[in-house]
Amino acid sequence: MKYHNNGNLKFEGKYSNGKKNGQVRKYYANGKLEFKGEYLNGKKNGKGKEYYSNGNLAYEGEYLDGKKMEKEKNIITMAN
């Protein structure tokens, strides 16, 4: 696990050979979820979800080698 300077959780997941691998959760400094999904060799790979800092879903879909592989299923305009 890694933490932001303010003490909030920044990252939870596993590393293999110094790279993120498997299920990962990344968080904004405000504590809201930023990304939940799979990593392979340090890059997003497989199913994942990205969120805006206000908690709204920004993207849900597949990744390959760190890139989005299909059209975005859910895009919500960021509103404060």
Among 27, 51, 54, 50, which Cα is nearest to 38's? 50
Query: pLDDT digits over 48-80, tens only?
Result: 999 999 999 999 999 999 999 866 555 555 544
CB 22 within 8 A of CB 38: yes
Whether the model clears a pTM of 0.75, i.e. scores above it, the answer is yes
Residue range 2-68 forms a domain whose CATH class is mainly beta
pLDDT computed for residue 69 by the predictor: 86
Q: For the chain, what are the domain ranges?
A: 2-68
- For 15-37, how does the pLDDT look when each residue is reduced to its tens digit (9 = 90+)? 999 999 999 999 999 999 999 99
Q: What's the rounded Cα separation, in Å, for the pair 6 and 62? A: 31
- Give the pLDDT confidence score for residue 72 in this predicted structure: 52
